[in-house]
């Protein structure tokens, strides 16, 4: 079971490296990693388990965040009534198209690997199409918008060695395109 002390923190060089592509069939150790990353997300979103194990809630976890420089990220996005909007482990994900429309979370973004609050808007694409493989190696293409699209862009950034605050305007953290959508 992944716990908070297993999460790689900002400052560790693995978070700034471009992660390696995976080949299929996946090594059994990477299948276990995929299961453990999704288990962390589920546990972190369950208030009783999260409190018991002192887990910070997360909707995404990329392999570099647990010290592995591989192109794998798990995403678990709940909806307003706790139904799951998007649940998948993405292997070798690539954004193949994106909208012109910019969006940002109205309260900014956070990250399990960043222990401090970094205020500011993180401009992202409102709609994206991602091509990836699931853990069985099946090629998938999915279109996402709004919050799930932002979550996936955040996780894919981890696979490129980018952290969310790299996107924040350093001079004016809360400046954003006039036509941007703020998602809250």
Q: Which residues are catalytic?
A: 155
Closest-CA residue to 89 (of 13, 180, 155, 8): 155
What separation in angstroms does the CA of 46 have from each of 29, 52, 54, 55, 63?
A: 26, 10, 11, 10, 21
Distance from C-alpha of 130 to C-alpha of 93, rounded to nearest angstrom = 6
For the four alpha carbons of 15, 161, 26 and 46, in that order, the dihedral sign comes to: positive
Residue 158 assigned ligand-binding role: yes
Please check whether residue 58 is in contact with residue 46, taking contact to mean a CB–CB distance below 8 angstroms.
no
Residue 111 assigned ligand-binding role: yes
Residue 154 assigned ligand-binding role: yes
Which residues belong to the annotated binding site for Fe cation? 111, 154, 158
Which residues belong to the annotated binding site? 111, 154, 158
């Amino acid at each position: 079971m992944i716990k908070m002390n297993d999460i790689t923190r900002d400052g560790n060089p693995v978070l700034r490296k471009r992660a390696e592509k995976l080949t299929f069939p996946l090594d059994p150790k990477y299948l276990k990693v995929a299961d453990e990353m999704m288990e962390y997300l589920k546990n972190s979103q369950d208030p009783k388990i999260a409190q018991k194990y002192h887990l910070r809630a997360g909707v995404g976890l990329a392999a570099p965040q647990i010290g592995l420089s591989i192109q794998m990220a798990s995403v678990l996005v709940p909806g307003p009534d706790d139904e799951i909007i998007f649940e998948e482990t993405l292997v070798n994900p690539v954004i193949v198209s994106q909208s012109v429309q910019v969006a940002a979370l109205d309260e900014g973004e956070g990250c399990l690997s960043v222990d401090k609050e970094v205020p500011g808007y993180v401009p992202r694409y409102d709609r994206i199409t991602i091509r990836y493989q699931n853990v069985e190696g099946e090629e998938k293409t999915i279109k996402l918008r709004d919050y799930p699209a932002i979550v996936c862009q955040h996780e894919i950034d981890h696979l490129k060695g980018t952290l969310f605050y790299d996107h924040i305007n350093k001079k004016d953290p809360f400046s954003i395109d006039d036509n941007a959508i703020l998602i809250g």
